[in-house]
Structure 1
Amino acid sequence: MTIVVTTPTGHVGSRVVRLLLQAGVRPRVLVRDADRLDGETRERVEVRQGDLTDAGFVREAVAGAGNVFWADPTPHTTADPVEVSLATAAPLVAAARAGDVGRVVLLSSVGAEKRHGVGHIDALGGIEAELDATGVDVLYLRCGYFFTNLLLDVEGLARGVLTTAFDPSRPMPWVDPRDIGDVVAARLLAGDWRGRVVQAVHGPEDLSFEQVAGILTEALGRAVRVEPVGDDAVRQALGAAGLPASAVEGIVGMAAGSRGLVPEQSRDVLTTTPTRLGGWAHVELRPVVEKADGS
Structure 2
Amino acid sequence: MQIAVTTPTGNVGHHVVAMLVRAGIRPRVLLRDPARLAPEIRDEVDAVRVDQYDADAVVAATEGVDALFWVSPITDSADPLLDHARAADSVVRAVTVNRIGRVVFQSSVGAEKRHGAGEIDGLAHTETALDGTGVDVTHLRCGYFFTNLEFELHALRAGTLQVILPLDQPMAWVAPRDIAEVAVTRLLSPAWSGRHVQAVHGPADLTWRQVGEILTAAIGRRISVERITDDAMRARLHQAGMSDSLVEAVLGMSTGLREDFVPEQPRTVRSTTPTTLAAWAYAHLRHRIAEAS
* Bin of the TM-score, shorter chain as denominator length: over 0.9
Instruction: State the distance in 2 between where 1:85 and 1:9 align.
Output: 19
Question: Is residue 74–residue 84 contact of structure 1 (8 Å, CA) maintained in 2?
Answer: no
Instruction: State the distance in 1 between where 2:163 and 2:104 align.
Output: 30
- Name the residue aligned to 1:97: 96
Q: Does 1:277 align with 2:293?
A: no
Instruction: State the distance in 1 between where 2:172 and 2:36 align.
Output: 31
Alignment of 1:148-227 (within 5 A): 148-227=147-226
Instruction: State the distance in 2 between where 1:218 and 1:242 align.
Output: 33
Question: Is residue 88–residue 129 contact of structure 2 (8 Å, CA) maintained in 1?
Answer: no
SS in 2 for 1:261: coil
Instruction: State the distance in 2 between where 1:223 and 1:23 align.
Output: 41
2:175 partner amino acid = D
Per-residue deviation, 1:183? 0.5
Per-residue deviation, 1:99? 5.3
SS in 1 for 2:16: helix
Give the TM-score normalised by the residue count of structure 1: 0.96
Question: Is residue 31–residue 50 contact of structure 2 (8 Å, CA) maintained in 1?
Answer: yes
After superposition, give the CA deviation of every residue in 1:64-92 in whole Å (9 maximum; x if it has no partner).
311000011132x3211011111022121
Q: Does 1:65 align with 2:81?
A: no
After superposition, give the CA deviation of every residue in 1:152-205 in whole Å (9 maximum; x if it has no partner).
110100111122122211111000000000011111111121000001000000
Per-residue deviation, 1:36? 0.9
2:38 partner amino acid = D
1:124 partner amino acid = L
Contiguous gaps of at least 5 residues in structure 1 = none
Instruction: State the distance in 1 between where 2:83 and 2:8 align.
Output: 20
Question: Is residue 202–residue 271 contact of structure 1 (8 Å, CA) maintained in 2?
Answer: yes
Q: How many residues align?
A: 292
Question: Is residue 52–residue 90 contact of structure 2 (8 Å, CA) maintained in 1?
Answer: no
- Name the residue aligned to 2:11: 11
Question: Is residue 33–residue 49 contact of structure 2 (8 Å, CA) maintained in 1?
Answer: yes
Instruction: State the distance in 1 between where 2:63 and 2:80 align.
Output: 26
Alignment of 1:85-164 (within 5 A): 85-98=84-97, 100-164=99-163
1:227 partner amino acid = E
Contiguous gaps of at least 5 residues in structure 2 = none
Instruction: State the distance in 2 between where 1:49 and 1:95 align.
Output: 16
Superposed structure 1 runs of 4+ greater than 4 Å apart: none
1:59 partner amino acid = V
SS in 1 for 2:139: strand
Instruction: State the distance in 2 between where 1:114 and 1:97 align.
Output: 26
Instruction: State the distance in 2 between where 1:247 and 1:114 align.
Output: 19
Question: Is residue 146–residue 174 contact of structure 1 (8 Å, CA) maintained in 2?
Answer: yes
Distance 1:64 1:100, change over 3 A: farther
Instruction: State the distance in 2 between where 1:147 and 1:74 align.
Output: 17
After superposition, give the CA deviation of every residue in 1:198-222 in whole Å (9 maximum; x if it has no partner).
0100000000000000000100101
Alignment of 1:223-234 (within 5 A): 223-234=222-233
Instruction: State the distance in 2 between where 1:253 and 1:129 align.
Output: 20
Question: Is residue 112–residue 125 contact of structure 1 (8 Å, CA) maintained in 2?
Answer: yes
